[in-house]
Structures are given as structure tokens and as C-alpha cells.
């Protein structure tokens, strides 16, 4: 059943990806010629097909918001085959989404195809994930480490940064996209190439797995994590949150560090490295101290 659900989201992603590209107009014209009874593919037509496929591959370098969203849904479905959504405190989920909204509305990318959404994963593992297109997952274990709304904002801002910097999409951009688009181009023409929907599905399956492996198993590169932290500081300041909240959270994570193979210890650089890097740039942000106005609502919802 989980495999079928995952493939449903993958098929949806494939449909969205390949119906929003303007290049498909050229492919459709050639397809119409074939349907008209040419029967054989001569050298000129083969060259046109090849050029169209290359154009599609190049177009894949710029992912449309709809495409990114549906790819993210497929990634999210994969994550939820391992973790369960925590439904024990709807008020907490709503609270995290309000924090997310206050950050994104003041960010360089306030709008996505379906917006940004935060869900809580029902595990005491200390971790968080952000899929392409705006899906954010935070574990109960990580929430339990926070001592303020600003600390939670630090976690959420870091995940928003991964989304806005497209770190998830970049996990597959240079490896599978050209193959997938070329496959679709030739398949759309009805050419006998031995490629079918199952093969295309397999290409996307591997692409989604690449993102999941990066996020859940291997982690982003050290440079990407540092970039996400730096961006998070800017996002927090832009929304009026104290950027020190991110450092507070990183220090709490350092105290709770467990490098036995679970959680952020496996997928993130050591908190000490991230703290040192963030401390070098945090002084450039000047934000009025308004934490007292947030502490009461934090206590009411989280504690």
C-alpha cells in the first residue's frame, strides 16, 4: 500500500512536470506528423527529436513552482512511510504554522504554489526536514529542546531556508532531470525505444529517493547547512525574531548530541561548527528585543 501511495504522488509529479513546459508544443507538432502516417523516422526528424529532447533537458534546470510542489509531495509521502504525523496537540501544530507564516511573509519568497506548511512527526528523535515546495516536518524530540518561540523560529527558519535555497531539488537537478525529460520527450512521440511508463516512473522514483536519502540518511553538505543557517538568521531578523534564538537551539542540540546513528547527529554538521559559523555573522543583525511579548503564548501552547 505504501508503495502504491508513493507511486501515486510520483505519477502526479510526472504529469505536472511535463504538462507545464512550453517546449512540449514543439514536441506535439512532431508527434502530430508521426500520427499522420509518416511511419519511418528519417535523419532530419531524428535530429529534430534529439534537439527537442535536449531543449527539454535544459528547461528542467528551472523548476516551476507547481513541479517543485508535487515533487515535494512525493518526497513527503516517502518520509511519512517511516514517520507518523503527531495529532496529539492540534494547537501546537497551528502555533508552529503561525510562526512559519510570520517568517515567510517577510521573506524574499513569501509565496509558493501551495504555501508553506509545518507538521509534527511523532518521534522523540531530534530532527527536522523540509521537502521541495514548502513541506516542513519537525519532530517532537526537537520541539522539546526549545525554550522559547524564538528558538522554535530558529528551527523553522532553517528549514524554510532549505526550501528557498532549493537544496532538495539540487540533490537531483544534475543527475536525473535530463534523463527523465529526454525519456518523456521520446515517449510522447510514440517512438519505439523500449522506454515505457514504468521506466519513466523508475527514473522519478530514483530521483525522489535521492532527495530522501540526502535529507534523512546522508544529510546536506556542510556548505548547504551553513548557508541555511546564515539565511535563517536573516529570515528571523526580517520577521522580528531574535536571531540568537537559532544559537540557543543549536546549543541545546549540542547538549543533546547523540551520534549513535539517529537524528540530526547523522545528517548535520556538529552543532559546535554551526554555532561558530553563525556567531561570526549574527552581530550584523539589530532587532528590537520583543521576546517578552511572545513568551506567554509560547508557554501556553508548548508548556
Among 15, 9, 2, 120, smallest CA distance to 73 is for 9
- List residues bridging with 117 in a β-sheet: 135
Given a cut of 60, whether residue 80 has pLDDT beyond it is: yes
Q: Return the pLDDT at 28.
A: 36
Of 122, 127, 143, which Cα lies nearest the Cα of 80?
Answer: 122
SS3 176: coil
Mean pLDDT of all residues in 185-208: 51
Sequence ranges of the domains in the chain: 2-66+170-216, 84-167+220-302
> What is the average pLDDT value for the chain, to the nearest integer?
75
pLDDT in tens, 204-233: 555 566 666 655 556 677 888 999 999 999
- H/E element, 121: strand 117-121
Q: Kindly indicate the confidence band of residue 301, based on its pLDDT and cuts at 50, 70 and 90.
A: very high
Contact 271, 291 (CB under 8 A): no
Confidence of residue 59 (pLDDT cuts 50, 70, 90): very low
Burial class (CB in 10 A: 0-12, 13-18, 19+), 87: exposed
pLDDT band of 180, cuts 50, 70, 90: low
Nearest to 207 by CA among 109, 67, 22, 65: 67
Place of cell 523500449: 194
Placement of cell 535523419 in the chain: 43
What is the pLDDT, as a whole number, of residue 248? 95
pLDDT at residue 193 greater than cutoff 60: no
Higher pLDDT, 139 or 50: 139
pLDDT computed for residue 55 by the predictor: 42
Provide the pLDDT for residue 260.
Answer: 44
Q: What is the pTM of this model?
A: 0.72
Cell numbers given for 21:
513546459
Instruction: Quote the cell numbers at residue 43.
Output: 535523419
Query: What is the three-class DSSP state of 39?
Result: coil
- Please give the DSSP secondary-structure letter assigned to residue 213: I
Residue 17 CB partners (closer than 8 Å, separation 6+): 64, 67, 70, 71, 180
Q: What is the pLDDT at residue 41?
A: 43
In angstroms, the CA 11 to CA 9 distance is 5
CB atoms within 10 A of CB 70: 24
Tell me the C-alpha distance between 145 and 204, whole Å. Answer: 36
- Other CB atoms closer than 10 Å to residue 290's CB: what's the count? 11
Q: Report the greatest alpha carbon distance in the chain.
A: 75
Amino acid at each position: 500500500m505504501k508503495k502504491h501511495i508513493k507511486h501515486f504522488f510520483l505519477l502526479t509529479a510526472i504529469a505536472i512536470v511535463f504538462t507545464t513546459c512550453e517546449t512540449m508544443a514543439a514536441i506535439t507538432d512532431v508527434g502530430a506528423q508521426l500520427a499522420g502516417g509518416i511511419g519511418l523516422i528519417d535523419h532530419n526528424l531524428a535530429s529534430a527529436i534529439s534537439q527537442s529532447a535536449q531543449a527539454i533537458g535544459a528547461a528542467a534546470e528551472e523548476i516551476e513552482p507547481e513541479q517543485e510542489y508535487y515533487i515535494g509531495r512525493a518526497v513527503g509521502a516517502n518520509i511519512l512511510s517511516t514517520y507518523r504525523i503527531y495529532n496529539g496537540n492540534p494547537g501546537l501544530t497551528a502555533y508552529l504554522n503561525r510562526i512559519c507564516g510570520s517568517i515567510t511573509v517577510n521573506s524574499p519568497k513569501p509565496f509558493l504554489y501551495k504555501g508553506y506548511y509545518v507538521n509534527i512527526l511523532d518521534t522523540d528523535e531530534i530532527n527536522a526536514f523540509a521537502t521541495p515546495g514548502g513541506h516542513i516536518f519537525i519532530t517532537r524530540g526537537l520541539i522539546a529542546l526549545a525554550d522559547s518561540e524564538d528558538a522554535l523560529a530558529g528551527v523553522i527558519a532553517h528549514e524554510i531556508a532549505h526550501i528557498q535555497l532549493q537544496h532538495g531539488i539540487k540533490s537531483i537537478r544534475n543527475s536525473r532531470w535530463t534523463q527523465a525529460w529526454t525519456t518523456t520527450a521520446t515517449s510522447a512521440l510514440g517512438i519505439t525505444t523500449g522506454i515505457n511508463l514504468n521506466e519513466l516512473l523508475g527514473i522519478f522514483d530514483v530521483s525522489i529517493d535521492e532527495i530522501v536519502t540526502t535529507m534523512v540518511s546522508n544529510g546536506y553538505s556542510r556548505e548547504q547547512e551553513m548557508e541555511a543557517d546564515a539565511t535563517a538568521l536573516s529570515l528571523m531578523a526580517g520577521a522580528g525574531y531574535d536571531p540568537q534564538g537559532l544559537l540557543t537551539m543549536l546549543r541545546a542540540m549540542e547538549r543533546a548530541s547523540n551520534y549513535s546513528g539517529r537524528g540530526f547527529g547523522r545528517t548535520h554538521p556538529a552543532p559546535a561548527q554551526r554555532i561558530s559559523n553563525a556567531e561570526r555573522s549574527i552581530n550584523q543583525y539589530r532587532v528590537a528585543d520583543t521576546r517578552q511579548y511572545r513568551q506567554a503564548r509560547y508557554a501556553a501552547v508548548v508548556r
